[in-house]
Structures are given as structure tokens and as C-alpha cells.
Structure 1
Amino acid sequence: MSDLIVLGFDHIDDAAKVLNECRALEKEYLLDLEDAVVVTRDGAGKVHLNQSLNLEKAGASWGLVSGGFWGVLVGMLCLNPLAGFVIGSAVGAGSGALAGKMSDYGIDDGFIKSLSETIPANSSALFILVRKSQPEKVLADLSQFKGHARIIRTSLSPEAEAKLKAALGDVAAA
């Protein structure tokens, strides 16, 4: 079962820095992220979501390939495979992008948007869904951000949450 962790930051670029560190930990096989979203709120109060997995682009890419393949096959039946490829690719890319836009993976977008409304202007938040991790090594590495992050929401056990608070120096949420 995956664990949800939402961290808040006082600066607009801190969440992206922590996500980059989490990506580095993934390369070392110390952390396995299922999903991650960086949320920023600018000075005007507008919320921006930066999804780690762009489903719209992935759907369009897959639709382009599969639509082109089926277009060539149908085009060969009509003795015009080039036209079939072009039409099939266009229809496949469009329908794949639409399917990607309508689908949701990982952390629920509605939850992200509702919780994002609570962060102050000129700040950021990091939503991560962790499949598995090496907690001691991950917490030791993330302690470099001590005093910069606060826990907004988590599905961790009380013991694991206390360890995370200690590593981040989060006394406000204690």
C-alpha cells in the first residue's frame, strides 16, 4: 500500500528542489514514487499544478503510434496506406490526448486542488505517493531540508510521521 505525504514550503521553488532530491533517491533505489505533484501559488494567488506524469502527452503519443499502425492497415485495404497513416495518426493522437486528459492516475486531482487552496501566496507544496522506501536512509538524506518543510497531511503511521517531523524539523505540526 502506498503512503501519501504532503509537505508545505515557504518559498515557491522549495517543493521542486525536494522533488529533485526524491528523484535522485529513486535512482539509488532508496525510494519508489508512484506519483508526485508540485503545487505553487504565485503572488496573485493563482495555483499551478505540475504533474510528474503528463497523461495527456502520454495518451497522445500512444494514440499517434497505434492510430498510425491501424491507419496503414486500413489504408492498405483501400490501396492508399499513406492517407490511412496520416488520418489514423491524427485521429489516434487526438483521441489519446483526450483520453489522457480525462483520466487520473495516482493522487486524486480533486484532493490536490482542494488542499492547494489552503497554501499561502508565494509558497509551494509537494504531494508524493510513496510505494516503498528505505526510511532511515531517505530521512537522513531529506534532513538537509530541515526547517524548510512542514507536514500538511500524511497517511503514515504515527511513529513514521514523528520520524519524518524530526527529520524535517517540523515543530509547527507537532
Structure 2
Amino acid sequence: MAELFVIGYDDPDVAEQAFATVQELQRDYVVHLNGLAVVAVDDEGRTHVDTSSRIVGVSAASGALWGAIFGILFLVPGVGLLTGAALGGIVGKLSKSGVDDRFRQQVGDLLRPGTAAVVIMASKVTDDKFTTAMRRHGGTVLKTSLSDEDEQELAEQLAGPQEP
């Protein structure tokens, strides 16, 4: 099961510190990352993304899944504006699996001009150690889960039809 965390911070510098802490937790095997990013909104309302190219163990399928979830959370303004059956199917599946409009709205509420969030997708988290390490940064935590089946089905949808 993959866990999706979005931790919002009023200060982008604190978000960067939290991002570094998550990377340390990955090295210490407290968390196994499928994706990690800092999303900052500047004073003009533009979104800026910083991802780590040093995340170990991210497969192409989980990378594609991470990209789809990330895009739907931050870059797609509303499900009603989506076009294309494939993207619509992915959004529908995400809505059933925990990344629904309510969660997206909560993420949107966290990210106002001048704020930032750390976005974490993890297949394993040692909750007590993770919580203890992250507590020093504060922030507002949002969390949802994707079952293994949902994650696999989404990865397959993203990969498209395969030739025999």
C-alpha cells in the first residue's frame, strides 16, 4: 500500500528543511519513497516544483504513477476540465482510491502564495520514527492511501495497452 502525504508549511525554507529530513529518513530506511517533491507557491501565485533525482528504488511504473498523482493534485484545475478517456479513467480511479476532490481541495487550501508543501509518496513508513523526525518542522499534514491493487491498476493504465 502506498501512502501519500502532503505536509504544508507557511515558510518555504521550513519545507526545504523537511524535504531534507525525508531524504535522511530514506537513507535510514525509515521510509521507502516512491516520490518526493517540494511544491512552493510564489507571491504571484505561480507553482514551483523541486524533486530529488536521488530517490533510490523508484521504478518506471511508480514514477509514472507519481507523475500522474502529482499532476492531478497540483496542475489540473478541475476534473470537469479534463479531456481524453485515458486521463479521465485515471482521475476516476484516483478518486476511488483516496485522492478525491476533497483531498485535492485540502491540498489546494494548503498552498497559498508564499507557502510550500512537501509531497511524499511512500510504499513503507515506520510511523513512530517518521512522526518523531518530522514533528520538529511542524506543518499541516494531509494523508491518504492507495492500495496495492489501486497502485498496480493505475500504473497499468498509465503504461497503456501492451503488445503481446
Interval of TM-score (by shorter of Structure 1 and Structure 2): 0.5 to 0.7
Superposition deviation, residue 27 in structure 1: 1.1
* Structure 2 counterpart of 1:110: 72
Contact 1:8 1:125 in 2 (8 A): yes
TM-score (norm 2): 0.56
Task: State how far apart, in whole Å, the 1-side matches of 2:35 and 2:74 are.
Answer: 12
Task: State how far apart, in whole Å, the 1-side matches of 2:108 and 2:30 are.
Answer: 32
Superposition deviation, residue 40 in structure 1: 0.5
Amino acid at match of 2:11: H
| Gaps in structure 1 of 5+ consecutive residues | 55-99, 157-174
Task: State how far apart, in whole Å, the 1-side matches of 2:39 and 2:136 are.
Answer: 21
Task: State how far apart, in whole Å, the 1-side matches of 2:29 and 2:64 are.
Answer: 26
Superposition deviation, residue 2 in structure 1: 0.5
User: Residue 106 of structure 1: SS of its match in structure 2?
Assistant: helix
* Higher relative contact order, structure no. (Cα contacts within 8 Å, ≥ 6 residues apart): 2
* Structure 2 counterpart of 1:125: 117
Describe the shift of the 1:139–1:117 C-alpha distance in structure 2 as closer, same or farther (beyond 3 A): closer
TM-score (norm 1): 0.54
Superposition deviation, residue 149 in structure 1: 0.2
Structure 1 residue ranges (4+ consecutive) displaced by more than 3 angstroms after TM superposition: 114-118
User: Residue 19 of structure 1: SS of its match in structure 2?
Assistant: helix
User: Residue 104 of structure 1: SS of its match in structure 2?
Assistant: helix
Task: State how far apart, in whole Å, the 2-side matches of 1:13 and 1:113 are.
Answer: 22
* Structure 2 counterpart of 1:14: 14
* Structure 2 counterpart of 1:134: 126
**Percent identity for Structure 1 against Structure 2:** 19
Q: Deviations over 1:118-159 (max 9, x none)?
A: 4111110111101102111121121212xx3012x3115xxx
Describe the shift of the 1:53–1:110 C-alpha distance in structure 2 as closer, same or farther (beyond 3 A): farther
Which is further off, 4-13 or 115-124? Answer: 115-124
Describe the shift of the 1:120–1:16 C-alpha distance in structure 2 as closer, same or farther (beyond 3 A): same
User: Residue 24 of structure 1: SS of its match in structure 2?
Assistant: helix
